[in-house]
């Protein structure tokens, strides 16, 4: 007899009424076979889920289902399949939330380091962390390393690859990794603090595994992967092999079919992200305030023994908005500022200003 | 100097006017860095894409962009990143189409067998192929094998696993594979025709690779994978390792952010699917006629040397609709009928009726 996990779908304009549609979606996510066929097999009764509730929410309905966790707890791909498989093919159905069972929790595992682990490694416990990126793709190795150096000198905690940087001829992966690690270590030693360089890992599963091997050999402190490019199950497989914290990049994802709190909060966290990058509300991606709040809640809400994940708001963050962003997301946040810093003619000074404003705002927020 | 590939996005309600938004999305998909920063580096000029056209389409706009193919042709994940990376994070932007360059075409490769290869293997050239599934998950090995036997006796060409079937204790993967292959071979030998059993491959990349090894050892004729569960890049990596045709299952996908013709047609085809399963228009998934037409076009439209892919309409196909479906999708179609057959108290006879109706309809359509 399987345990049951819970999913919530937001349903708009259901064909044939919400009650019948809820039952149809339940069948889709359990047996995907006409009910009259299912009833011929008494052994299937134990796996029959149920509609827990249907609640109106504006013009939509929130439908909560209980689904058997035996398929979902097999592996990360089956979890997605069981939680939001063929239901995704129905128009007007958005995956809003999932409450996992212990079996699923154990299978997925969540972040290996989480907020506390990352803080311990960086040695900063009392303020949000600061982050920027070297970019754009197309720059030479020297140009990218120069940006990395200036950001480090400016006092930033974390410098990451842009997500378009892979193994381009002008700045090959291994050389970029070595050079940026050298620069960040040099500045860190001089300033007596920690500076992270976070390389981007992309490609096919075997290429990503080889990149992670290189990263271990070179002693990089963390990595970045994009779960919605690689697929969440491959992301999960690789987080299990990486011996360092993992940043999730949101490329190729959307909140159209999976709610913001889930797609950029709970799912990357369950699948092993220690920090989840997402488009900040008010930035150039036009995410709403409520959606930002959902993400912030989902990265830190208690889920069994699953560690908390850093929220990493990004995408058009300006220096003026630092205090607001910290007030909104709290201290367990990594502020990722790219363009606003790179715009400056004195990158190191602009970075220093950003770092100082985060430190001051953190004092105000506490 | 990179070549340029083309993407088309459908944009609804752009903030700040469509011209400015098109330029903003272009920047997002190329440098993702403020233009004033990009202009400081003359070396980047060669990688600057451009807005090719903006065309009103009802209340929306279709925006065509030329993007440098050097990032996109690196690997399958970078292709998705370059074609629809951070643009996916913007509200009201749907990925409509992509025209690849020879470098991308060569990197992705498309189906290894395609329509002609699958037809050669099955030995049927003059009619659509017939397909059904053994399900639901939760049945015992014996119960599933019984369904497989009846479908085979009924004269069907292809019997596939349900996508929820993985390695459950009641019907373990390897045992199910062996038993269903035995049954289909036995009936095929008796009837002097070909009957395929197509096992479902799911899990983490290494688990899927091991499953494919088992499949090669047992001599299965084809496999099924779900590219939107595994991630398209992992799907691509595995299609490169499978020595048999690959069916793509659409679980965990949606046409909300990627157009139907792309998400169930051109993308699975480019990434190596020999047959792409999708929800038929008019079935229980409420896909429209135009959308079905887009999928049918995208699996067979000429793309360099990329082979054609079978369209596999499914999801609530009834026996009454067989002729209409064949008229709509043409003869290079695999008709997947699940529930409508399983409903019958005499599965072999119902299957025979389905198979006969496909044969008759194919004669009418020609």
Confidence band of B211 (pLDDT split at 50, 70, 90): very high
Q: Cis bond leading into B105, ω under 30°?
A: no
User: Over 90: is that where the pLDDT of B16 sits?
Assistant: no
Distance, CA of A240 to CA of A111 (rounded, Å)? 9
Chain B partners within 8 Å of A343 (Cβ): 34, 36-37
Question: How does pLDDT run across A193-220, given as a tens digit for each residue?
Answer: 999 999 999 999 999 999 999 999 999 9
CB-facing half-sphere around the CA of A162: CA atoms within 13 A: 31
Question: How does pLDDT run across B87-106, given as a tens digit for each residue?
Answer: 999 989 999 999 999 999 99
With a CB-CB cutoff of 8 Å, which residues 308-337 of chain A face chain B? 315
User: Over 90: is that where the pLDDT of A16 sits?
Assistant: no
Nearest CA in chain A to B162: A32
With a CB-CB cutoff of 8 Å, which residues 75-94 of chain A face chain B? 75-78, 80-82, 84-86, 88-91
| CB of A45 less than 8 A from some CB of B | no
CB A6 within 8 A of CB A63: no
Chain B partners within 8 Å of A85 (Cβ): 163-164, 229, 251-252
Look at residue B13 in the predicted model and tell me its pLDDT. 86
| CB of A342 less than 8 A from some CB of B | yes
| CB of A44 less than 8 A from some CB of B | yes
Better pLDDT: A234 or A323: A234
A21: β partners: none
* Element of type H or E holding B230: helix B227-230
The answer to whether the Cβ–Cβ distance between A339 and B33 falls below 8 Å is: yes
Nearest CA in chain A to B285: A90
With a CB-CB cutoff of 8 Å, which residues 266-305 of chain A face chain B? 279, 284-286
What number is the average pLDDT over the span B52-66? 97
Distance, CA of B132 to CA of B134 (rounded, Å)? 7
- The answer for residues whose C-beta is within 8 angstroms of residue A189's C-beta and 6 or more apart is none
Residue B330 zone, left/alpha/beta (φ > 0; ψ -120 to 50; rest): left
Is the ipTM value over 0.95, yes or no? yes
Show the CA angle centred on residue A162, arms to residues A156 and A168, nearest 5°: 130
| CB of B234 less than 8 A from some CB of A | yes
Question: How does pLDDT run across A243-274, given as a tens digit for each residue?
Answer: 999 999 999 999 999 999 999 999 999 999 99
B117, burial (CB in 10 Å: exposed 0-12, middle 13-18, buried 19+): middle
Chain A partners within 8 Å of B78 (Cβ): 164, 166, 202-203
Better pLDDT: B288 or B177: B177
Q: Cis bond leading into B350, ω under 30°?
A: no
What number is the average pLDDT over the span A297-315? 94
SS3 state at A186: helix
The answer to whether the Cβ–Cβ distance between B254 and A88 falls below 8 Å is: yes
Look at A48-57, A204-213, A289-298, B223-232 and tell me which has the smallest mean pLDDT.
A289-298
Look at residue A311 in the predicted model and tell me its pLDDT. 95
| CB of A70 less than 8 A from some CB of B | yes
Distance, CA of B121 to CA of B114 (rounded, Å)? 11
| CB of A117 less than 8 A from some CB of B | no
In chain A, what percentage of residues exceed pLDDT 70?
98
Q: How far is B38 from chain A (nearest CA, A)?
A: 8
Distance, CA of A124 to CA of B302 (rounded, Å)? 56
The answer to whether the Cβ–Cβ distance between B74 and A203 falls below 8 Å is: yes
The DSSP secondary-structure symbol of A204 reads S
Question: How does pLDDT run across A342-365, given as a tens digit for each residue?
Answer: 999 999 999 999 999 999 988 877
Look at residue B364 in the predicted model and tell me its pLDDT. 75
The distance of Cα B129 from the centroid of its chain, to the nearest Å, equals 16
């Amino acid at each position: 007899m399987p345990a049951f996990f819970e999913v919530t779908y937001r349903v708009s304009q259901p064909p044939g009424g919400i009650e019948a549609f809820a039952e149809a979606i339940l069948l889709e996510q359990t047996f995907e076979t006409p009910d009259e066929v299912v009833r011929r097999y008494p052994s299937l009764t134990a796996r029959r889920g149920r509609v827990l509730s249907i609640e109106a929410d504006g013009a939509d309905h929130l439908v909560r289902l209980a689904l058997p966790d035996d398929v979902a707890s097999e592996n990360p791909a089956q979890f997605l399949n069981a939680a939001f498989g063929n239901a995704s093919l129905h128009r007007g159905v958005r995956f809003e939330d999932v409450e996992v069972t212990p079996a699923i929790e154990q299978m997925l595992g969540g972040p290996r380091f989480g907020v506390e682990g990352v803080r311990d490694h960086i040695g900063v416990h009392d303020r949000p962390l600061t982050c920027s990126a070297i970019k754009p793709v197309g720059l030479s190795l020297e140009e990218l390393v120069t940006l990395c150096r200036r950001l480090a000198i400016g006092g930033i905690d974390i410098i990451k690859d842009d997500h378009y940087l892979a193994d381009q001829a002008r700045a090959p992966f291994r050389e970029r990794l070595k050079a940026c690690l050298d620069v960040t270590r040099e500045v860190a030693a001089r300033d007596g603090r920690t500076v992270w360089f976070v390389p981007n890992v992309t490609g096919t599963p075997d290429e990503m595994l080889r990149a992670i091997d290189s990263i271990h050999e070179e002693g990089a402190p963390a990595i970045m992967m994009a779960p919605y490019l690689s697929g969440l199950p491959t992301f999960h497989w690789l987080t299990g092999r990486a011996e360092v914290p993992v940043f999730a990049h949101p490329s190729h994802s959307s909140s159209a079919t999976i709610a913001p709190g889930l797609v950029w909060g709970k799912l990357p966290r369950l699948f092993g992200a220690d920090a989840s990058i997402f488009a900040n509300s008010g930035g150039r991606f036009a995410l709403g305030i409520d959606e930002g709040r959902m993400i912030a809640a989902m990265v830190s809400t208690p889920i069994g023994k699953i560690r908390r994940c850093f929220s990493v708001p990004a995408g058009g963050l300006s220096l003026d908005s630092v205090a607001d962003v910290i007030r909104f997301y709290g201290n367990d946040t990594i502020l990722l500022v790219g363009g606003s810093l790179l715009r400056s003619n004195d990158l190191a000074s602009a970075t220093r200003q950003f770092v100082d404003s985060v430190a001051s705002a953190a004092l105000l927020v506490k």
